[in-house]
Structure 1
Amino acid sequence: SKSDAAIDFSKSAEEICALVRGMYSRPCAWTNYEGKIMKIHEAVPGGCKGSRPPGMILRADRDGIVVSCGDGSVVLKRVQMPGKKAMDAAEYLLGNKIEIGAFLG
């Protein structure tokens, strides 16, 4: 169901990546960003460790959107906003701003 596909950033990077892989087609894994549904088509575990609150956007660059999670960070590689096609995070960032320190979820 759609609620099963919601990303819980308090989980580990591996759990989040497994959810994204498992929900690849329908329903796609998703989170909220600025009141809109952001579908996540690809994610990989990140290297950032630390004790930032889960769901905080740590970085957004050509490597992807780095978000804090339960055991460090996860990198969102391919995203889709409502009414748009799925695209690499780097491509998305060319035309859209992601606020560092904002929260997903």
Structure 2
Amino acid sequence: MLVVALVQIMVKPGEAVTCGQVDASLASCISYLTAGGSPSAVCCDGLKNLKTITPPTADRRAACDCVKAAAARYPNIKEDAASSLPTKCGVQMNIPISRSTNCAK
């Protein structure tokens, strides 16, 4: 919860989302994304925060690019775990979590 609160404080209205904010939101999900199982509550809170800070389409596209860049840094991320994360957390995302997503669409 502390990470989510800090990230929300960092987001200022009218400013575009940054990769740092996206990374902070999803950092607690790395163990789930690489090992599978069930995502932690902190991971799901981070995902909820990511949805909150990316309402405009431009921010969703930027966040999508950040997610793809982060996935490239972690080659052992399981694609099936990434794609199922929103469902497992009960969060309807407008940002696909996948290396192969075309963020321009």
Q: TM-score, normalised by structure 2?
A: 0.32
- The structure in which a higher percent of residues are strand is 1
